């Protein structure tokens, strides 16, 4: 039974042990490399290696001695962060060959020449340029200065595209919740549309225009339904509906010219309904006034009735 447990534990631990040994060898190779990028990759896997060793010890501690792995990992960590336990003595960076720097600059030039078209390609370019910057950080030349300026311009274009796409998604989400389209939202969409012309360093213009085109269809449908709904407003809401149609009118027609006719019709219908309700109110007020007057004309006092009755009796007595 004990032998069976030992074999089961070793079987489960073997793949992890092989992976740890492989990455320890890879660590040593990266630490011997003069490439600063390789050293940065070594830093990335230190924590993962330590976690893998912890798992092996936890699952197969009675059968696997991980001290060898720990010692090799400590040696690699010391080479990366400093020898011994001194926090002031650091491991010297190996000199970077100038030919390699030229190769990295050429790689950065290729990144600048890319025509990214989607979020994955943008993320890849950002990560690749970050790796190049890790090597070129302490180098300076006119060519590098120009390259950095060009990259900053392209990075700003990435940010502009991302902000525009995020805002389009937010507006789309709000429309899915049946929220009304405000005139400020239409103005913002027009500004985003103008931003498309600024995306000249990448191929992101097409994806932004496509997202805007899809949103325009949704906005047009929502605005059309809103106009129809406002047009059917009753007497109490008619004035408010007319104000809303007027306020949104300019931005609406500018963003969706095809809604111009429906917008004009809605304004006319609401204006006619307001005029009708005004005239009906005037008619009602006039009829109420006449009715009150008529009641006043048909009203007599008790004294007047007694006098009239006395006159009738007096006339009948003498006749």
Q: What local confidence, expressed as pLDDT, does residue 245 receive?
A: 81
Residue 193 near residue 234 (C-beta atoms within 8 A)? no
Rounded distance between C-alpha atoms, residue 74 and residue 243, angstroms: 74
Burial 119-150 (b: 16+ CB within 10 A, else e): eeebeebeeebebbeebbeeeeeeeeeebeee
3-state SS record for 204-219:
CHHHHHHHHHHHHHHH
| Span 86-137, pLDDT tens digits | 333 343 444 556 777 888 889 999 999 999 999 999 999 998 898 888 888 8
| Span 203-248, pLDDT tens digits | 999 999 999 999 888 888 887 788 777 778 887 888 888 888 877 7
Dmax (CA) for the chain in angstroms is: 148
Task: Compute CA distances 175 → 119, 243, 266, whole Å.
Answer: 24, 22, 22
Residue 192 near residue 167 (C-beta atoms within 8 A)? yes
pTM, rounded to two decimals: 0.53
Mean pLDDT (whole number) for 67-72: 77
pLDDT at residue 280 above 80?
yes
**Minimum mean pLDDT range among 25-39, 64-78, 184-198, 240-254:** 25-39
Percent of the chain with pLDDT over 90: 19
Q: What local confidence, expressed as pLDDT, does residue 175 receive?
A: 82
Q: What local confidence, expressed as pLDDT, does residue 90 receive?
A: 43
């Amino acid at each position: 039974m004990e032998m069976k447990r030992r074999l089961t534990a070793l079987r489960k631990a073997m793949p992890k042990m092989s992976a740890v040994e492989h990455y320890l060898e890879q660590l040593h190779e990266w630490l011997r490399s003069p490439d600063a990028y390789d050293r940065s990759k070594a830093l990335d896997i230190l924590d993962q290696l330590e976690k893998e060793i912890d798992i092996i010890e936890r699952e197969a501690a009675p059968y696997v001695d991980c001290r060898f792995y720990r010692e090799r990992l400590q040696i690699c960590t010391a080479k990366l962060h400093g020898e011994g336990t001194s926090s002031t003595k650091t491991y010297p960076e190996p000199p970077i060959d100038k030919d390699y720097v030229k190769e990295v600059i050429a790689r950065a030039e290729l990144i600048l020449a890319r025509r990214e078209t989607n979020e994955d390609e943008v993320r890849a370019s950002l990560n690749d340029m970050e790796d190049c910057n890790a090597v070129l950080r302490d180098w300076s030349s006119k060519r590098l200065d120009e390259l950095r300026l060009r990259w900053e311009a392209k990075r700003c274009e990435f940010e502009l595209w991302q902000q525009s796409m995020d805002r389009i998604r937010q507006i789309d989400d709000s429309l899915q919740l049946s929220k009304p389209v405000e005139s400020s939202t239409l103005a913002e969409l027009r500004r985003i549309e103008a931003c498309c012309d600024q995306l000249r360093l990448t191929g992101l213009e097409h994806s932004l225009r496509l997202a805007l085109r899809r949103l325009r269809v949704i906005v047009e449908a929502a605005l059309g339904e809103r106009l129809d709904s406002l047009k059917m407003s009753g007497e109490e809401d008619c004035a408010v509906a007319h104000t809303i149609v007027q306020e949104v009118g300019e931005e609406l027609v500018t963003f969706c010219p095809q809604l111009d006719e429906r917008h004009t019709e809605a304004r006319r219908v609401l204006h006619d309904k307001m005029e009708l309700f005004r005239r009906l109110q005037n008619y009602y007020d006039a009829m109420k006034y006449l009715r009150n007057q008529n009641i006043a004309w048909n009203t007599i006092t008790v004294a007047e009735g007694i006098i009239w009755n006395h006159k009738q009796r007096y006339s009948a007595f003498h006749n």
